[in-house]
Structure 1
Amino acid sequence: MISSFFSKTKPINYLVLLIMLVLFYVANYFILKINFDSVVFLLLILIAISLQVIGVQETVRTRKTTNTTSFAMLFFVLLCMAVPKILQYKEIVFCNLFLLLSLNRLLALKNLKQVKQKIFDATLWICVASVFDPWVLLFLVVVFLAVYIYGTKEFKNWLVPIIAIVFFVLLISAFLVLTKNINFIENHYVIHVDTNLLESFMANFSIKPFLYIIVILIVASFVLVKQGYQGVGRIIHLRLLLVYFLVVIVVFSVQNLENKNYTILLYSFFPAAIFATNFMETFKKKRLKEAVLLVCILIPFTLLLIDLVKK
């Protein structure tokens, strides 16, 4: 029943998932007493997350990273529900919105139309996202990888990201001068790296994000091998998403050493949802698929129950 419902992409699928996500966050507000800056910020964050849910489905539909189902949207929502404290970090939520816009443009490079414009847009969206989290500039690695994959025949394509970065610097500098906040760049774009990385990593180690990363890497490896063997056309997209996921691990690992902020994993939820969806599509037995989906749906509620018991 569950698999049959989410095998479609009707408006009811969007509505059910968005309502489920909002109700879950509201439950966390009352049960776990998660605090928010204000009602306005709460509404803005909920809107931003809802746009990301819709954006995930639109990217899947237009970029053909999976079959046309609602599973990617479902997994993205479940991952968001598994980390309810996302709502307390508005910077990460807004940052991920722009990262998804960037990733969407990179995946669009496959049709080899308007290549320069898409590279420019993808780079610019990452730069905009860096206003909320300077570490996301590491995702420029994914941009250059996409240029290598899709646009190596023309040298000018390699210069487009640099032009986009210069354009962003000029744009934000002009804005900061007008607002008399020129020190923002100097104060914000400061990246600290702990000299005792191994010691800090062990001190801040947590089993839940570690298990999540391991599971997704195993699923991604299985999917890549399966898709490569079948010769399906989406293999290039999946490889790009794997690199994106690996960059997220780096960003998460370094920042987690400083503040134990697991919500940074939000950046990885889109590629994780895509890999999980492709993994589900390999199941031939409907009962097995139903069982796996049921377990996935129960995980966020189980985590909520565990947090409630700890309270």
Structure 2
Amino acid sequence: MLFALFYFTSVFLFHSIDISIASIGLIIGVFLCFVFMLLLLNFILRKNNLTEDNSYALLITILLLGSFYETMFELNIFFSNLVLLLAFRKIYSIGSGIKIKSKLFDAGFWVGIATLIYSWSIIFLILVYVGMLVFRKMNVKNLFIPIVGFITPLIIYFTYHFYFDNLNFFYDTLNFDMSFNFVTYNALKLLIPITLLLALIIWCVVTLSPKVVLISNNFKLSWKIIMIHLIVSIVIVVVSPLKNGSELFFLIIPVAIIIANFIHKTGSSTFKNLILYLFLAISIGVYFL
């Protein structure tokens, strides 16, 4: 319900809409895709025990989408993140020891599709190998499986355009333009939530990591992957040619997981509520800036 409020408010406030069946259908279709993404994220979190049995991560994800409302309108970034969720599902479940080769292939395959949608998604191929390394599934055979999975959709896509003599479209799809111009981040609607997010995520990582290291269970291993997930996401945001806030989508999932774990392990209910209310206030306030 909260996400629906954010989404439809953003649509009607910041985007001109043609009153037609096609445009209304597109708006509703994208909304349903977001709902599917949130349900999939919730499934991944619970299946792999990335957060305790609570809904903090899902709530924070929704509040961050509301805070950076441009994330809801760059469809290539959204769909690449949706596909990457399918890859993350495989990566975080490598530790189960079940169907490892299949999971490695699938993870590489989904990263390959995400790369065709948004080129810089290719960096998440690193996360597949980090998962192998952390869960001790690295061997000569497994080493090449993610690569095979990754290039499979690229070869299919290349073959399709080669057959129709339209290879320029294929080459244009793999566009690795970069931009380090962060001037747009000076706008209050981005500066305020980014500042809060950076301060909180640094605090969470610094205070939570020593506690997690002392734990001898699978979450300790997953935490290492989450940290690399965060670093890879930051790299993509930094190099992204688009700097309007939509690129921050890549940060939302690892950040939500980290903050959710921090909130859960914080003893003070007052502090928990303060963090959540602060995010809520900012997610509403940016619409007035």
For normalisation by structure 1, the TM-score amounts to 0.82
What does residue 111 of structure 1 align with? 96
**What are the within-5 Å matches in structure 2 for residues 75-224 of structure 1?**
75-177=60-162, 181-193=166-178, 200-201=181-182, 203=183, 205-206=185-186, 207-208=191-192, 209=194, 211-224=196-209
RMSD of aligned Cα (Å): 2.2
Write out per-residue CA displacement over residues 151-174 of structure 1, whole angstroms, 9 at most, x where no aligned residue.
Answer: 445310101012112322222123
Question: Partner letter of residue 191 of structure 1?
Answer: F
Distance 1:211 1:179, change over 3 A: farther
Partner letter of residue 7 of structure 2?
Answer: Y
Which one-letter code corresponds to 1:34 in the other structure? H
Counterpart amino acid of residue 66 in structure 2: M
Offset from partner CA, 1:52-100 (integer Å, 9 cap, x none):
1111211111000111111111111111111112232111111110111
Q: Tell me by how many angstroms 1:44 deviates.
A: 2.4
Distance in 2, Cα, partners of 1:225 & 1:266 = 27
Per the TM alignment, residue 249 of structure 1 is displaced from its structure 2 partner at its CA by: 1.1
Counterpart of 1:268 in structure 2 is 251
Cα distance in structure 2, aligned partners of 1:78 and 1:191: 30
2:264 corresponds to: 281
Aligned partner of 1:299 among 273, 277, 282: 282
The aligned length equals 280
SS class of match (1:130): helix
Which sections of structure 2, spanning at least 5 residues, go unmatched? none
How many angstroms does 1:216 deviate by?
Answer: 1.7
Matches within 5 A, 1:3-82: 19-30=1-12, 32-35=13-16, 38-82=23-67
Deviation sequence 1:31-55 (CA, Å, 0-9, x none): x332368223222221221111111
In the alignment, the residues of structure 1 paired with residue 238 and residue 207 of structure 2 have an alpha-carbon distance, to the nearest angstrom, of: 24
* 3-state SS of 2:267 partner: coil
How far off is 1:260 after superposition? 1.8
Q: What SS does the corresponding residue of 1:67 show, helix, strand or coil?
A: coil
User: Residues 293 and 165 of structure 1: is their aligned pair in 2 closer, same or farther, counting only changes over 3 Å?
Assistant: closer
Q: TM-score, normalised by structure 2?
A: 0.88
Structure 1 residue 211 displacement after superposition? 4.6
2: CA distance, partners of 1:251 / 1:241: 15
Amino acid paired to 1:50: V
User: Mind listing any 5+ residue stretches in structure 1 that lack a counterpart?
Assistant: 1-18
Residue identity in the other structure for 1:278: N
